[in-house]
A and B are shown apart, each in its own frame.
Chain A
Amino acid sequence: DVKVTQSSRYLVKRTGEKVFLECVQDMDHENMFWYRQDPGLGLRLIYFSYDVKMKEKGDIPEGYSVSREKKERFSLILESASTNQTSMYLCASSFKFREGANEQYFGPGTRLTVT
């Protein structure tokens, strides 16, 4: 089974702290994604990566950065956490698009609270 793991299920940080969220997948997927999910807003794409050291902005990249030094690992960084970044963060991975096979596999999520 595909496994996507995230470093923490729950995290509490203070305003202004630098926060690292780590995601690891074990299926040799090329693509990796970071989303945030907020009530009433569904999932919104923050950043994605289609290869090592490559990254693309999603719909809401402001206040975030990412790092992909190894194929299996994709990190989301909040340079200076703010209270409006309190959210559920979800990591996902997938193969590059193949005919009929663009399924994304999601991790369990990290619920981040910034106080």
Chain B
Amino acid sequence: LAKTTQPISMDSYEGQEVNITCSHNNIATNDYITWYQQFPSQGPRFIIQGYKTKVTNEVASLFIPADRKSSTLSLPRVSLSDTAVYYCLVGDRSGGYNKLIFGAGTRLAVHP
């Protein structure tokens, strides 16, 4: 099972770009990298997913280098409402059951 490592916490200010890097040295060939966001007292919410290179959607970008041993979630121009915990996960396809392993996440605090 591929394990992920990410910073415990980060601080930023409104309007700045935030980059959260995650390492996953043991990622398997078929694994996807997925990021979730969680607000207090809510379930996690899917943000973005990728396999290699760069993926962009309306809320974030995901950069994955060629060796896929790390990935970086980029949040452009954060606002106070982006204060949350961000989880980096590597999809475990053992048995095809889509089992994901959640780590402790990165607690992002956005300040005015």
Contact = CB atoms under 8 A, between A and B. Distances in A.
Given A97-B93, A109-B42, A42 B104 contact: yes
Interface in A58-110: 58, 90, 92, 94-97, 100, 102-109
Classify chain A: how many residues form its interface, as a range: 20 to 34
Contacts of A43: 44, 87, 102
A31 B96 CA distance: 10
Interface in A1-53: 4, 31, 35, 40-45, 48, 50
A38 B42 CA distance: 13
Interface of B: 32, 34, 41-46, 49, 51, 87, 91, 93, 95-105
B66 to A, nearest CB: 18
Interface of A: 4, 31, 35, 40-45, 48, 50, 56, 58, 90, 92, 94-97, 100, 102-109, 111
Given A92-B43, A102-B91, A108-B43, 7 more contacts: A4-B43, A56-B95, A100-B32, A100-B51, A102-B93, A103-B46, A109-B42
